[in-house]
């Protein structure tokens, strides 16, 4: 495995694109099952600041693989050699297209041509706010991760998928054996009081759940290949869903696989980060957090609790413009 380079993969969708809208409406109106709510696809106009942050705060990244169904922002400059625009049809098998499910996109990332063996998967609602080193994501060639267990999955709105992921993990790994084999990874001081969780849950036969920080995930590309070879049926079933459903597995399966396999470096990846649902009452707090430069990263989840989308959107854009006023090489 080549561990010299680290790439980033980020998917993006423009829900105002006419071609995308037409296909989306066609499948949604046909009654295809799954989550087709607007907040799953709404664009906040913050992508340029995501690119500016990566350029300024993570210059060691080799390439950015920008994944879309075929559209791009009008301001994006495709001439930069560090940028690889990847359309769904370039890497997702044709039988799974068109797709409106993040799960289908994420489960096939290893098929992206030219993707490095070590890569970081970002969502477009997670923003870097100050310089981060490669060691924040990879050490000794392994993904850095917060290997802390919970008594039940902590994935909130996608708890069903987390349970499905854990079912797969428990079919392939003997938890007690893996914990003995990688004792120092499961009881690392990097977890703080999280070590108590692992101690109390160590007698349980199965992996009951993991703490899931809503942050970028560091992956080894061979892990994705291995999971596909080990569980082709459930992977195929998930990818055939046009929209995400509770019967799916998701990208957390790859993370759990790396944890259960001992293929990770213990780290407090949650340090200096926060995840917030945008709503009518916390905009001032969000703006202060962006402007303070005290956090490494912030995740801004879309929500239904927004009465004036345009006003809130403009307010958050202004905060990022103050933080990152200079254009990146990825902009025209």
Q: Output the pLDDT for position 41.
A: 66
Cα–Cα distance, 10 to 109 (Å, whole number): 10
Residue 293 DSSP SS3: coil
Q: What is the pLDDT of residues 187-209, one digit of tens each?
A: 999 999 999 999 999 999 999 99
Cα–Cα distance, 175 to 288 (Å, whole number): 43
Those residues of the chain that have pLDDT short of 70 are 1-3, 31-41, 154-157
| Residue 101, domain member (yes or no) | yes
| Residue 1, domain member (yes or no) | no
Q: What is the pLDDT of residues 140-153, one digit of tens each?
A: 999 999 999 999 87
Report the domain count for the chain.
1
According to DSSP, residue 166 is labeled H
The CA-based angle 221-227-230, given to 5 degrees, is 145
Residue 267's region, left for phi above 0, alpha for psi from -120 to 50, else beta, is beta
| Residue 109, domain member (yes or no) | yes
| Residue 33, domain member (yes or no) | yes
| Residue 328, domain member (yes or no) | no
Q: What is the pLDDT of residues 65-91, one digit of tens each?
A: 999 999 999 999 999 999 999 999 999
Catalogue the E-assigned strands of the chain.
6-11, 64-68, 83-87, 118-121, 126-128, 138-139, 142-145, 217-220, 265-266, 273-277, 297-301
Spell 80-114 as b/e; 16+ CB within 10 A means b: beebbebebeebbeeebebbbbbbbbbbbbbbbee
- Give the pairing of strands 217-220 and 118-121: antiparallel
The CA-based angle 241-225-171, given to 5 degrees, is 75
Tokens found for residue 206: 């199965």
Cα–Cα distance, 273 to 296 (Å, whole number): 6
| Residue 329, domain member (yes or no) | no
Nearest by Cα to 259 from 303, 306, 200, 218: 218
Q: Output the pLDDT for position 209.
A: 94
Q: Output the pLDDT for position 47.
A: 97
Residues 6+ apart with CB under 8 A from 162: 153, 154, 155, 209, 212, 250, 252
Residues 6+ apart with CB under 8 A from 170: 206, 207
Please state at what angle helix 252-261 crosses helix 221-230, rounded to 10 degrees.
100
According to DSSP, residue 328 is labeled P
Give the structural domain span for 110.
7-323
| Residue 2, domain member (yes or no) | no
| Residue 157, domain member (yes or no) | yes
Query: For 98, phi and psi rounded to 5 degrees?
Result: -75, 155
Cα–Cα distance, 205 to 174 (Å, whole number): 8
Q: Output the pLDDT for position 40.
A: 57
């Amino acid at each position: 495995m080549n561990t010299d380079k680290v790439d980033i993969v980020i998917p993006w969708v423009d829900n105002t694109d006419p071609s995308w809208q037409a296909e989306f409406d066609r499948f949604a109106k046909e009654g295809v099952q799954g989550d087709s709510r607007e907040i799953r696809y709404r664009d906040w106009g913050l992508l340029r600041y995501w690119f500016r942050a990566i350029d300024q705060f993570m210059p060691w990244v080799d390439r950015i693989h920008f994944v879309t169904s075929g559209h791009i922002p009008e301001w994006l400059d495709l001439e930069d050699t560090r940028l690889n625009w990847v359309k769904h049809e370039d890497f997702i098998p044709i039988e799974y297209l068109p797709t409106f499910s993040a799960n289908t996109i994420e489960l096939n990332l290893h098929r992206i041509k030219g993707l490095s063996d070590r890569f970081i998967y970002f969502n477009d609602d997670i923003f870097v706010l100050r310089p981060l080193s490669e060691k924040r994501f990879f050490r000794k060639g392994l993904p850095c991760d917060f290997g802390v267990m919970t008594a039940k999955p902590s994935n909130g709105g996608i708890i069903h998928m987390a349970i499905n992921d854990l079912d797969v993990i428990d079919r392939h790994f003997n938890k007690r054996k893996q914990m003995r084999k990688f004792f120092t990874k499961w009881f690392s001081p990097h977890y703080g009081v999280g070590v108590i969780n692992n101690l109390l849950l160590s007698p349980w036969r199965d992996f009951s759940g993991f703490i899931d920080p809503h942050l970028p995930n560091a992956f080894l590309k061979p892990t994705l290949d291995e999971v596909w070879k080990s569980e082709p049926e459930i992977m195929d079933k998930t990818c055939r869903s046009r929209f995400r459903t509770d019967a799916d597995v998701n990208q957390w399966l790859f993370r759990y696989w790396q944890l259960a396999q001992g293929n990770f470096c213990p780290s407090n990846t949650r340090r200096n980060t926060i995840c917030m649902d945008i709503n009518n009452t916390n905009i001032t707090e969000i703006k202060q957090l962006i402007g303070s430069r005290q956090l490494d990263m912030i995740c801004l989840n879309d929500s239904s609790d927004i009465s004036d989308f345009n006003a809130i959107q403009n307010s958050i854009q202004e905060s990022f413009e103050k933080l990152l006023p200079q254009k990146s090489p990825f902009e025209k």
